[in-house]
Amino acid sequence: MVPALIAIAAQVGAPMIEKILARKIGAAGASLATDVITKIATQAGTTPDRLNDLAASSPEAVAKAIREVEAMSPELVALYAAGLEGQFALLQAEMAEGGWKSAWRPLGMYFVIFLWAWQVVLLHVANAIWKIALPPMPWDQLIYFSGLYMGLYMGGHTIKDVVAKMVAK
């Protein structure tokens, strides 16, 4: 989908949209590119997953939407940069205080990794070595816990994206 949008952005003279979609602003701009695609789709009166079809059938409608989003692009980039600055400031504040405030994220990550390693490998090895029958954690609870932690760790974006996809269907 993105190559078609990049080509249309280049044709209509929307250099900022072209750079965002081509990820010339860095790989970390993926969420910005996703937001831009969503805005283009909204302006074109479609959904992001149907934008490619619209670009093939009606490139002039997509070109018009790209021009409109190009006019908003400085504001989008400024909002994105402000969000990154806020995340960085939070991380620096947590690290400056030390203790639990800076340790909960990595410790939680290692705990989730341990739970998955335990469920998949270590439990079976322990049962085989000591000839015991330790019960595994129920898979649904492991997945729920992992999802909850990722939702908290990633600022809720994971949960927000999943819910947005479920609502869009």
User: Nearest-CA neighbor of 169 among 38, 39, 56, 48?
Assistant: 48
Given pLDDT bands bounded at 50, 70 and 90, which one contains residue 25?
A: low
* pTM for this predicted structure: 0.53
C-alpha 98/C-alpha 66 separation (Å) is 45
59-97 and 30-44 are packed helices; what angle lies between their axes, rounded to 10 degrees?
A: 150
Q: Are 39 and 31 in contact (CB under 8 A)?
A: no
Locus of tokens 């980039």: 77
For residue 26, what pLDDT is reported?
57
pLDDT digits (tens, 9 = 90+) for 28-47: 566 788 888 888 999 999 98
C-alpha 36/C-alpha 17 separation (Å) is 8
Q: What is the DSSP letter of 137?
A: P
pLDDT digits (tens, 9 = 90+) for 121-166: 999 999 999 999 999 999 999 999 998 888 777 666 666 777 778 8
Which has more confidence, 110 or 2?
110
